[in-house]
């Protein structure tokens, strides 16, 4: 545990307001890894009945909260921000799978385990179910863990996990991000209650645009949305060997980021590809997680959407 600290019980009580429930973002977790998009382990406390791990505080909650709080309204989760967050999370998972000293399968990839810091940067969290993979192994056998709606279908039948299990779960997160639909919903038809099935059926029946978040449809070109949808479909393949690796997913998402930026440059929406991140990825700056109530934002947003819609209109 490089440069980690041993904290006293009193220090933890002070930092958490005596373990107040309103300070809890999630439960569980362990691990020592170093990546800018993985929640950092600061140390541990050995004075309590159950030893505690201390992680950095992530101030803006979970991606799940932001996705579903904003459904149907104007959100800071623009197309640019959706791609950015997806790329950050994918890069972190690719690191866990291949770049960490010992490969790690997360097992419980979901939008509630992707946290957002003060700059709305994505951080992968909660390694409570994770498994280390020996260099000579490709899979791990374990009792079924994870979260319904995100679980790899093969996992139910074999109890075996591979890195491709995380890829499937991440595909559900991507679908959730671009549709603003929950991974499981009783509001959908029986055969569509699972988001993966709902998304696959929409692709098969060629009504993808009808299920995508309306804000993203206005902002992104159809080509970009279809590219993202195809990536989601690849991640959600029933057969593991047909799914991409997390590294391949991360590379494709980075490609989408660059494509969108170059589109804006080409259309003179921005002047250079060397723009500051906040110019392309605007996030709330007033402490609120949404833009609601800001007439200034609504005016700017309306003009921006008109321009992007015009850019994406067939010539």
The answer to whether residue 206 is catalytic is no
CA distance 36 to 149: 27
- Are the C-beta atoms of residues 66 and 77 closer than 8 Å to each other? yes
Q: Residue 262: which H helix or E strand, with range?
A: helix 246-266
Catalytic one among 91, 108, 126, 166? 108
Number of C-alpha atoms within 13 angstroms, CB side, residue 125? 28
Please state, in angstroms and as integers, the Cα–Cα distance from residue 240 to each residue in 2, 148, 152, following that order: 35, 18, 9
CA distance 97 to 93: 6
- Are the C-beta atoms of residues 112 and 134 closer than 8 Å to each other? no
Helix/strand/coil for 197 = helix
How far is CA 160 from its chain centroid?
A: 24
Which tokens sit at 227? 């590219």
- Are the C-beta atoms of residues 33 and 100 closer than 8 Å to each other? yes
How far is CA 61 from its chain centroid?
A: 12
- Are the C-beta atoms of residues 149 and 172 closer than 8 Å to each other? yes
Name the one residue in this structure whose structure tokens are 């109890």. 159
Q: Residue 46: phi, psi to the nearest 5?
A: -105, 5
Alpha helices in 180-314 (DSSP H): 195-204, 208-211, 214-219, 222-235, 246-266, 277-280, 295-312
Residues belonging to the active site? 108
């Amino acid at each position: 545990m490089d440069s980690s600290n041993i904290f006293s019980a009193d220090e933890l009580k002070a930092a958490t307001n005596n373990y107040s429930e309103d300070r809890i973002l999630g439960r569980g977790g362990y691990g020592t890894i170093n990546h800018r998009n993985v929640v950092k382990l600061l140390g541990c406390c050995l004075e309590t009945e159950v030893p505690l791990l201390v992680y950095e505080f992530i101030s803006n909650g979970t991606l799940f909260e932001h996705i579903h709080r904003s459904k149907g309204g104007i959100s800071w989760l623009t197309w640019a921000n959706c791609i950015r967050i997806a790329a950050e999370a994918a890069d972190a998972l690719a690191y866990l799978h291949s770049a960490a000293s010992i490969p790690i399968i997360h097992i419980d990839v979901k939008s509630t385990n992707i946290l957002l810091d003060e700059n709305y940067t994505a951080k992968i969290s909660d390694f409570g179910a994770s498994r280390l993979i020996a260099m000579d192994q490709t899979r791990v056998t374990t009792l079924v863990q994870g979260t319904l709606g995100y679980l790899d279908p093969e996992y139910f039948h074999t109890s075996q996990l591979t890195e491709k299990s995380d890829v499937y779960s991440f595909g559900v997160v991507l679908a959730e991000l671009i549709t603003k639909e929950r991974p499981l919903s009783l509001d959908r038809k029986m055969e569509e209650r699972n988001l993966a099935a709902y998304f696959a059926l929409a692709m098969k029946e060629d009504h993808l645009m009808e299920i995508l978040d309306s804000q993203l449809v206005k902002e992104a070109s159809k080509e970009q949305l279809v590219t993202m949808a195809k990536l989601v479909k690849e991640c959600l393949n029933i057969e593991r060997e047909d799914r991409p690796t997390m590294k391949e997913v991360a590379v494709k998402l980075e490609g989408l980021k660059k494509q969108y930026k170059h589109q804006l440059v080409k259309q003179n929406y921005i002047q250079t590809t060397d723009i500051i991140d906040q110019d392309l990825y605007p996030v709330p700056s007033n402490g609120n997680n949404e833009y609601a109530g800001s007439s200034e934002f609504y005016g700017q947003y309306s003009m921006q959407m008109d321009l992007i819609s015009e850019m994406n209109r067939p010539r």
